[in-house]
A and B are shown apart, each in its own frame.
Chain A
Amino acid sequence: KYLSTFIKTLYSTSMIFYSCVLYIICEVPLNETLAHLKTESETLKSKLEEERAKLHDVELHQVAEKVEGLGQFVMKTRRTLKGHGNKVLCMDWCKDKRRIVSSSQDGKVIVWDAFTTNKEHAVTMPCTWVMACAYAPSGCAVACGGLDNKCSVYPLSLDKNENLAAKKKSVAMHTNYLSACSFTNSDMQILTSSGDGTCALWDVESGQLLQSFHGHAADVLCLDLAPSETGNTFVSGGCDKKANVWDMRSGQCIQSFETHESDINSVRYYPSGDAFASGSDDATCRLYDLRADREVAIYSKDSIIFGVSSVDFSLSGRLLFGGYNDYTINVWDVLKGTRVSILFGHENRVSTLRVSPDGTAFCTGSWDHTLRIWA
């Protein structure tokens, strides 16, 4: 009779309780085993950090001593894009170097010719908090999503009478909010990250899931595709303070970095693809080298208290731009580790920042409802 009760318990509760009961039968207390695993995990992690440190024979700023310092730095707002009725959450550039797509809290997605500041297309999403948007490589479509847990693709029609929403195509489906999306090398595939802790690769045409990426322990907030020759990896950052590098083919996490002290809001590859930068709520930006397999630089300052929402490199990788929650943009010398300049202008948080495809300018989006182009 006792046995049958145990079996019932086994089947009706979760795996954890299953192990609990099993251990009780075997007279081995649960705590010891779980704790044992936890300690082993932590020991291995410290060993890993030791190994990584062994080959760290010099600091980046030391190597950079021989490089000429940067002179006076003047960048100004060259365009202000007004039209969103609420917080701007995300933006992306078109390959034509002048058009952008932006999305906001009130559900609006707008395509602008940033050069003339004209609005060319506008879509109202059926949800609020559109946190992700991306321009297709062909320039003929945009993808966006947010609290609807989906990523949808809208072909851009030039027919003024046509309602863009009519041709909308639902591509990705997550079980929590969509935090970021990006087309891969073509209009045919989209990579997404979500509050459900996973990233996923989707076929646009069929809406089919091609690959999913599990490994983050909490919301994934950002991702970036590697500019590599073989084009097969991407990096993601999340609320678990981890930045993970993934193989798109196998779905495996090939490298992981955990040095930030808080959520990672933004990740961006260094132009050569050998490293990536991250921006976090802990008010620092960090640079991770993939071949050295470690963090190689921290960009921080006492007077910078508020978190980084978004980072991007200038074309040569010498400068790192960070958009911060205290409404400013800090410009860092990537090699020397110093802060080159601070830019004011926005009247609320900078939520998104991207350098244009030819590096002539960068665009910021802010909770003050505007976007600015800086050059």
Chain B
Amino acid sequence: MTINTLAKGGCHREQMACFRKMEKVIVAMQDPDMGMKMRNQRLLITVIPHAMTGHDIIAWLTHKYRISEEESLHLGNMLVKYGYIYPLKEPRCLVLRPDESPYRFQTPYFWTSTRWPASELDYAIYLAKKNIRKQGELMEYEKERYSLLHKRINHTWDFVVMQAREQLRASKQRRKADRIVLECQEQAYWLINRPPPGVNNVLDTGLERPNNFSCRVTLNSDYYKREIEACRKALGRNRVKSSICLEGFLKYSEQYLNHDPIMQGCLPSNPWISDDTAHWTMNAEIVPVPTRLRVERWSFSFMELLNDAMGRREFMTYLEKEFSAENLYFWQACEDIRHGESSKIVEKVEDIYKNFLAPGAARWVNIDSKTMDKTLEGIKRPHRFVMDDAQMHIYFLMKKDSYPRYLKSDLYKNMLAKAIVPQETKKSVFPFMRRQRHSSPSPAQTATQAAEEEGLAKGAGANSAAGSHF
């Protein structure tokens, strides 16, 4: 069941904004010069003036917004769903048909936005009218609602019946064509504001959000003082010229174009399209030979290299050769503190000190004295971010020095040379035959197995579950 957001009687900002925009479209459609051409439509023996066909609506929208017919049909459908246009043939079916079916504009009196929210009393009067006018004209669900309302607002029932009779009497005095029109308009209004069961309630906006945010945060002097402070800080920022920043987007998109499967496709094929998982197998975390695109990507930025498990492994090999591997080990250990369990911080900081920072440490890292002093001081009261400065120093050292040299090294060049360029899978001769879609081991499973193996190796009980972190 949908949440009845109308019960609160509040005005929903999001809905209102959409209504206003749709109303603008409707008004434009009725513009005497640029709007739609209206004509008389025949409905059985009556002639209804000022009507248009589904075709007309779609053609007008296509022309006005320069969009495809499919999109116009969709937009037109929205206008019908929200009650701004209603069908004359099959009035209970609020759908825009791209044919000669006749439609009419809803009168602003019956716009949902005008009479928001639809009241129970009005609904009761409407159902009462239907009931009085023709016995058995009420649909099953309408009968149920009618009796529910009767129970709920029993105290005003006389008023309801009286109003219904009065409105029926007044309508009898109208011309038949006008009467039919009014009945159609009213019916359309109620189909939207009290949809039949099984039909999407277009007025459902989900959970209510605050209507007026000043209710949540008092706009007092403290609030404005904070805003002023934030503005002053922002004014002092260094900014970069747009021309420089925007060029950056162009460069980035160009560099990554071949790596973007949605833009350029991927080799051997996109698994979602071909049902073949070769692309994923070839690009698994650790493979004997990586693909060319993957190795190329390591040269895009230091972060790309480190984020790829294989890339990082290769870089480590290179650093070992250069006798500066302690930098990467140190960086990894710092990452482990930053993102690891709170309870292990103290222990890990101690390990880092022992292995990397203490004089004569096995993997002593070369940090400038100022940072070293600050870090050693901070270690006395270890916390998650205590190694941040040292970590950044080493990170930028690797980035500016070792990384560019790695890219020029034989190690990298050989990797690039022997990297695979997969063959594009030719499209299947029988496009209707779907490949078998095989399942893959869940990451939770591999973690369980790894943990189990670890448990067995340690001689401890194999009591580990997937939630070994917990």
Contact = CB atoms under 8 A, between A and B. Distances in A.
A41 B228 CA distance: 5
B303 A177 contact: no
B217 A197 contact: yes
Contact residues of A: prevailing secondary structure: loop
B448 to A, nearest CB: 6
A82 interface: no
Of B245, B277, B280, B465, the most chain A CB neighbours within 10 A belong to B245
B25 interface: yes
Given A37-B225, A157-B444, A271-B252, A315 B262 contact: yes
A211 B342 CA distance: 13
Contacts of B443: 94-96, 99, 138-140
B245 A375 contact: no
Contacts of A318: 253, 257, 260, 263
A340 to B, nearest CB: 11
B240 interface: yes
Given A78-B273, A289-B242, A305 B467 contact: no
A80 interface: no
Contacts of B439: 113, 115-116, 118
A218 B217 contact: yes
B241 A138 contact: no
B27 to A, nearest CB: 14
Interface string B440-460: 101111011000000000000
B210 interface: yes
A268 to B, nearest CB: 15
A187 B263 CA distance: 32
B333 interface: no
A167 B279 CA distance: 35
A174 interface: no
Contact of B260 (A240, A316, A362): A316
A375 B273 CA distance: 7
B242 A229 contact: no
Contacts of B437: 115-116
A55 B240 contact: yes
A95 B435 CA distance: 24
A99 B442 contact: yes
A64 B235 CA distance: 29
A229 B231 contact: no
B391 to A, nearest CB: 9
B261 interface: yes
Contacts of A129: 207
B5 to A, nearest CB: 13
B4 interface: no
Interface in A306-352: 306-307, 314-319, 325-328, 334-335, 342, 344, 347-348
Contacts of B235: 44, 47-48, 51
B447 A138 contact: yes
B385 to A, nearest CB: 6
Contacts of B242: 55-59, 289, 292, 294, 296
Contacts of A292: 239-242, 245-246
A188 B469 contact: yes
A197 B447 CA distance: 37
B231 A359 contact: no
Contacts of A148: none
Interface stretch (B63-71, B353-361, B418-426): B63-71
Contacts of B151: none
B35 interface: no
B385 A189 contact: no
Interface of A: 15-16, 19, 33-34, 37-38, 40-41, 44-45, 47-48, 51-52, 55-60, 63-64, 67, 70, 75, 78-79, 87, 94-99, 113, 115-116, 118, 120, 129, 131, 138-141, 147, 153, 155-159, 167, 169, 177, 184-189, 195, 197, 203-206, 208, 210, 215, 217-219, 227, 229-230, 239-240, 249, 253, 255-256, 262-263, 270-272, 274-275, 281-283, 289, 291-294, 296, 301-303, 305-307, 314-319, 325-328, 334-335, 342, 344, 347-348, 355, 358-362, 367, 373, 375
